[in-house]
């Protein structure tokens, strides 16, 4: 057996103090570049964490007959507010399977078509808000967050945040940002340090209460409307039962699911759209191909149909390549169910193992010219040649992202409407600075727009 490479740490604290709390993943990627074995381990806050990014080793840890998602830190900390919602429930809790089976129909392709009018309504609000701010520096990540939060809340729960009506972000987002930042800090703290920080604890509990009050409002509003027969996420949770066990979801679990979907359903897609625009501004050739595509498929100013959005080809490939180069979720965790080996390395039962996506998605064993943004990697005949475990932006197996189609439909539509209407530019030549909470986003990225067609 080979020894898993490990950068030297200090007694007691191990590698904890080497990891900057605002950007742990950037640090992990830097360490990864030193170990071509595609695996290393760190001692963080008293725990051993193994990070894997060689595609062959990743293929092994993605084998669901040997590895399972366990709710370890930071997810066990996020559980303080997401409870037993889908993201933070353990496989062994019956409620995970019940909720998974109840909610799956809400993420079918047919459901995407049903959500489309509301997705379009919110995307048009974004475009209208940019149309009156031409020439201004537009805060990309904030506006993408407005778009994605309003989209998941309207399509999933029939609830309107009206984010584009206000220059301030909704208080829910501030509370969520506070709670997620605290959860990530706690992830790197020894528990006794967390206990000493009373003021932070008070702020953390206040943020959680703010989010829960909003969720209660969403549910109260729907209950007040009576049974609407709606098959949206909330409608299914309130009325459907698990096809296998017949069980219904408890009120508390529904609350946890709504909060989970509000967070998981917008943070990541907002990051994807922000990174996609960043990439397009640096790749004029690809941007030109995207303009060509929208001019061809969306030639007039009419709202595009769902079928038209499904015909796009360049824009979806821009999204796939963006998810390779900048995965909004940079890491997901699994653990072996029994003592096992991957490659030449032994892993004990329960070992905390993370798949480090930025390093996997640029691994030279799997990708030619890994640093190049090339959407033609996603042409069908090239896609067939990809290493089967080299691309995991939506996680793995049964615990993979339930909202994948939702995110990709929403993002295709938003990008198509933006590029049909506006020429985008970046006069301040933004330099990438990553902001990490649970997900990654470009911090402080702005762009400018001007109408493309108005004076033609």
Report in angstroms how near the CB of residue 309 gets to ligand HEM at its nearest.
16
Q: Does 82 help bind ligand HEM (rule: CB under 6 A)? A: no
Toward ligand HEM, which CB reaches closer, 74 or 304? 74
- Please, which of residues 208-237 interact with ligand HEM by CB under 6 A? none
Toward ligand HEM, which CB reaches closer, 418 or 448? 418
- Please, which of residues 375-404 interact with ligand HEM by CB under 6 A? 393-395, 399-403
Assess whether 268 carries a catalytic annotation: yes
Packing angle, helices 404-421 and 109-131, rounded to 10: 30
Per-residue x/- track, 90-109, ligand HEM (CB under 6 A) = ----------x---------
Q: Does 161 help bind ligand HEM (rule: CB under 6 A)? A: no
Toward ligand HEM, which CB reaches closer, 100 or 365? 100
Binding residues: 401
Binding residues for heme: 401
Task: Report residue 244: phi and psi, to 5°.
Answer: -85, -50
Which helix (H) or strand (E) is 156 found in, with range?
Answer: helix 140-157
User: What is the β-pairing status of strands 47-52 and 352-356?
Assistant: parallel
Judge contact between 392 and 360, C-beta under 8 A.
Answer: yes
Residue corresponding to tokens 């609407």: 228
Q: Does 28 help bind ligand HEM (rule: CB under 6 A)? A: no
Q: CA-CA distance, 260 to 445, in Å (whole number)?
A: 27
User: Which listed range, 244-252, 267-275, 420-428, 441-449, lies at the site for ligand HEM (CB under 6 A)?
Assistant: 267-275
Query: DSSP characters for 399-433?
Result: GS-TTHHHHHHHHHHHHHHHHHHEEEE-TT-----
Structure tokens at 289: 């191909």
Report in angstroms how near the CB of residue 446 gets to ligand HEM at its nearest.
21
Q: Does 69 help bind ligand HEM (rule: CB under 6 A)? A: yes
Report in angstroms how near the CB of residue 183 gets to ligand HEM at its nearest.
14
Structure tokens at 288: 């030109």
Buried b / exposed e over 224-255, threshold 16 CB at 10 Å, is eeeeeebebbbbbbbebebeeeeebbeeebbb
Toward ligand HEM, which CB reaches closer, 261 or 345? 261
Q: Is 369 helix (H, G, I), strand (E, B) or coil?
A: coil
| CA of residue 31 relative to chain centroid, distance | 23
Report in angstroms how near the CB of residue 451 gets to ligand HEM at its nearest.
28
Which helix (H) or strand (E) is 186 found in, with range?
Answer: helix 171-187
Report in angstroms how near the CB of residue 442 gets to ligand HEM at its nearest.
14
Q: Does 272 help bind ligand HEM (rule: CB under 6 A)? A: yes
Q: Does 354 help bind ligand HEM (rule: CB under 6 A)? A: no
Assess whether 401 carries a catalytic annotation: yes
Active-site residue, from 81, 148, 353, 401? 401
Packing angle, helices 75-82 and 171-187, rounded to 10: 150
Q: Does 73 help bind ligand HEM (rule: CB under 6 A)? A: no
Toward ligand HEM, which CB reaches closer, 336 or 403? 403
User: Which listed range, 32-40, 121-129, 238-246, 328-336, lies at the site for ligand HEM (CB under 6 A)?
Assistant: 328-336
Q: CA-CA distance, 308 to 294, in Å (whole number)?
A: 10
How many Cβ atoms are within 10 Å of 66's Cβ, its own excluded? 17
Query: DSSP characters for 131-154?
Result: HTTTTS-EEHHHHHHHHHHHHHHH
How many Cβ atoms are within 10 Å of 291's Cβ, its own excluded? 18
Kindly tell me the sign of the dihedral angle through the C-alpha atoms of 372, 316, 412, 236: negative
Active-site residue, from 16, 260, 268, 269? 268
Active-site residue, from 28, 67, 87, 394? 394
Assess whether 148 carries a catalytic annotation: no
Q: Does 328 help bind ligand HEM (rule: CB under 6 A)? A: yes
Q: Does 83 help bind ligand HEM (rule: CB under 6 A)? A: no
Q: Which residues bind ligand HEM (CB under 6 A)?
A: 69, 86-87, 100, 152, 260-261, 264-265, 268-269, 272, 328-329, 332, 393-395, 399-403, 406-407
Catalytic residues: 268, 394, 401
């Amino acid at each position: 057996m080979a020894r898993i490479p490990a950068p030297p740490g200090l007694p007691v604290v191990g590698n904890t103090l080497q990891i900057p709390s605002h950007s742990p993943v950037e640090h992990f990627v830097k360490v990864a570049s030193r170990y071509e074995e595609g695996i290393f381990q760190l001692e963080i806050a008293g725990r051993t964490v193994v990070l894997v990014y060689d595609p062959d080793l990743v293929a092994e840890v993605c084998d669901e007959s040997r590895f399972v998602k366990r709710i370890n830190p930071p997810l066990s900390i996020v559980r303080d507010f997401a409870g037993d919602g889908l993201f933070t429930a353990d496989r062994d809790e019956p409620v995970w399977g019940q909720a998974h089976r109840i909610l799956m129909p809400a993420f079918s392709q047919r459901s995407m078509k049903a959500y489309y009018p509301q997705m379009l309504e919110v995307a048009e609000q974004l475009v209208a808000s940019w149309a009156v701010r031409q020439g201004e520096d537009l805060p990309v990540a904030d506006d993408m967050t407005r778009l994605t939060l309003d989209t998941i809340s309207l399509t999933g729960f029939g609830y309107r945040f009206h984010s584009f009506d206000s220059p301030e972000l909704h208080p829910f987002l501030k509370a969520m940002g506070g709670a997620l930042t605290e959860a990530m800090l706690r992830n790197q703290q020894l528990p006794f340090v967390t206990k000493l920080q009373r003021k932070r604890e008070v702020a953390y509990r206040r943020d959680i209460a703010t989010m829960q009050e909003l969720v209660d409002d969403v549910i109260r509003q729907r209950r007040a409307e009576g049974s609407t027969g709606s098959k949206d996420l909330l409608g299914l949770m309130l009325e459907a039962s698990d096809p296998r066990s017949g069980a219904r979801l408890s009120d508390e679990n529904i609350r946890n699911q709504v909060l989970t979907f509000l967070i998981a359903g917008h943070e990541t897609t907002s990051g994807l759209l922000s990174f996609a625009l960043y990439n397009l501004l640096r790749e004029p050739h690809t941007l030109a191909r995207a303009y060509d595509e929208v001019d061809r498929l969306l030639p007039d100013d009419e709202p595009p149909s769902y079928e038209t959005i499904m015909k796009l080809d360049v824009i979806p490939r821009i999204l796939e390549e963006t998810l390779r180069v900048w995965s909004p979720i940079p890491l997901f965790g699994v653990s072996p169910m029994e003592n096992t080996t991957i490659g030449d390395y032994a892993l004990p039962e329960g070992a905390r193992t993370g798949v480090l996506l930025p390093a996997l998605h640029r691994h030279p064993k799997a990708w030619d010219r890994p640093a190049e943004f090339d959407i033609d990697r996603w042409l069908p005949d090239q896609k067939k040649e990809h290493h089967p475990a080299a691309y995991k932006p939506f996680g793995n197996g049964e615990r993979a992202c339930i909202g994948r189609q939702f995110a990709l439909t929403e993002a295709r539509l938003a990008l198509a409407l933006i590029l049909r209407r506006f020429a985008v530019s970046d006069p301040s030549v933004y330099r990438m600075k990553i902001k990490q909470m649970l997900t990654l986003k470009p911090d402080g990225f702005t762009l400018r727009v001007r109408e493309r067609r108005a004076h033609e």
